[in-house]
């Protein structure tokens, strides 16, 4: 089963501190840019996008998963934020969006759910919905580092809800066909005894940074900025960061 069908589990590690950090990240990205409308083509439950609505940006979101979109709508409503949500595969954006935006984004390491060839086509679809002089944005894991280090085990800091401790462990398989499977194991402990386990498998297609940057240049993008994610860690060594983002400007003519 995919964790994107279990939004109760997906959002367990989210809290107000993370929300504030995402807001600060976007404030850094937006500085000096005319971005007042933004479509996130992999919005999920909105963790990486909703704070934008508090930064004078009209928000649009799409996703393949209806469960994720439903949760996103609830979270937006709870914060009294306005958002236009549509179910859409990001490989078929043209079917669901006719308008153009100041920025089209894909957040949360979502593009590598499809193959490298498909991602480059998705960049073209995103481009088709960006106004002249607007911006294309994506963030993702540092796949170059992942492929270099080939680590398999990731332990996240536990979170505590009432008297339950929630642990997330990820085990990553490097498949023979060069895809990767992330195995997500959530354990729920009460008084040092595991009382619940939830396991999910997600398939990824690692994509090297250069492939996407090359395609952006072919599409004519200028001012291509590759930044640490979150972007307010300005001095980070980009080879070593776990997560990065790219914001690039479409030519004005
Ligand atoms: C890791 S989650 C990120 C969600 C959100 N951006 C966040 O950061 O929490 C990946 C998201 O990509 C979506 N997704 C996967 N393949 C997709 C596709 N082909 N088109 C649109 N969304 C897709 C999933 O449904 C999921 O919501």
- Of ligand 1's listed atoms, the one at least distance from the Cα of 90 is 20
Class level of CATH domain 3-143+208-249: alpha beta
**Pick among 2.40.50, 2.60.40, 2.20.25, 3.40.50: CATH of 145-204:** 2.20.25
Distance CA 77, CA 128 (A): 30
Summary mean pLDDT of the chain: 97
* Separation of CA 110 and ligand 1 centre (Å): 5
Ligand 1 binding site (Cβ under 6 Å of any ligand atom): 4, 42-45, 47-48, 63-65, 68, 89-91, 107-110, 113-114
E-only strand ranges, the chain: 37-40, 58-63, 83-87, 101-106, 130-141, 153-155, 159-161, 164-174, 180-190, 193-204, 222-228, 243-249
Which pLDDT band holds residue 14 (cuts at 50, 70, 90)? very high
CA 44 to chain centre: 8
Per domain, the residue ranges of the chain are: 3-143+208-249, 145-204
Q: Provide the token pair at 47.
A: 């963790």
What would the DSSP string read from start to end of 193-237? EEEEEEEEEEEE----HHHHHHHHHHTT-EEEEEEESSTT-TT--
> What value does the mean pLDDT take over residues 132-161?
97
CA of residue 178 to ligand 1 center, whole Å: 20
Token couple for 63: 């996703």
**Which residue has the least CA distance to atom 10 on ligand 1?**
110
Q: Which two tokens stand for residue 35?
A: 């971005």
The residue contributing the CA closest to ligand 1 atom 7 is 108
Q: Which of 2, 25, 51, 113 to mutate to test the pocket of ligand 1 (most atoms within 8 A of CB)?
A: 113
Angle at 144 between CA 139 and CA 149, to 5 degrees: 125
Radius of gyration of the chain (CA): 18
What sign does the CA torsion over 226, 232, 234, 235 have?
negative
Q: What is the pLDDT of residues 92-126, one digit of tens each?
A: 999 999 999 999 999 999 999 999 999 999 999 99
Ligand 1 centroid – CA 43 distance (Å) = 6
- Measuring from atom 16 of ligand 1, which residue has the nearest CA? 113
Q: Whose CA is nearest to atom 8 of ligand 1?
A: 108
Q: Give pLDDT, residue 46.
A: 98
Ligand 1 atom nearest to CA at 202 = 1
* Closest residue by CA, ligand 1 atom 20: 89
Q: How do residues 63-74 score in pLDDT, each as one tens digit?
A: 999 999 999 999
Ligand 1 atom nearest to 107, measured from its CA: 6
Distance 1 CA to ligand 1 centre (A): 15
- Prediction pTM value: 0.97
What residue owns the CA closest to ligand 1's atom 18? 89
Quote the crossing angle between the two packed helices 209-218 and 116-128, to the nearest 10°.
40
pLDDT given at position 233 = 92
Q: Does the pLDDT at position 59 exceed 90?
A: yes
- Ligand 1 pocket test, pick from 44, 94, 112 with the greatest ligand atom count within 8 Å of Cβ, gives 44
- Write down the pLDDT at residue 228: 97
């Amino acid at each position: 089963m995919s964790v994107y069908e279990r939004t109760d589990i997906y959002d367990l590690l989210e809290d107000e501190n993370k929300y504030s950090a995402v807001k600060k990240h976007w404030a850094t990205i937006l500085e000096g840019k005319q971005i007042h409308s933004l479509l996130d083509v992999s919005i999920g439950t909105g963790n990486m996008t909703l704070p934008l609505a508090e930064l004078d940006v009209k928000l649009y979101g799409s996703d393949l998963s209806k469960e994720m979109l439903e949760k996103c709508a609830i979270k937006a409503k709870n914060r009294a934020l306005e958002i236009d949500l549509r179910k859409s595969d990001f490989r078929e954006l043209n079917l669901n969006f006719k308008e153009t935006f100041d920025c089209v984004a894909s957040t949360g390491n979502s593009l590598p759910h499809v193959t490298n060839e498909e991602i480059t086509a998705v960049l073209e679809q995103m481009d088709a919905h960006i106004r002249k002089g607007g911006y294309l944005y994506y963030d993702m894991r540092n796949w170059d580092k992942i492929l270099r280090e080939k680590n398999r085990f990731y332990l996240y800091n536990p979170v505590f809800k009432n008297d339950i401790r929630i642990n997330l462990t990820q085990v990553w398989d490097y498949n023979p066909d060069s895809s990767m499977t992330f195995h997500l194991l959530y354990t729920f402990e009460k008084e040092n005894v595991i009382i619940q386990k939830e396991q999910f498998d997600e398939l990824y297609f690692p994509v090297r940074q250069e492939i996407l940057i090359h395609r952006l240049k072919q599409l004519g993008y200028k001012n291509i900025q590759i930044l640490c994610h979150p972007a307010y860690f300005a001095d980070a060594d980009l080879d070593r960061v776990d997560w990065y983002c790219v914001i690039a400007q479409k030519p004005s003519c």
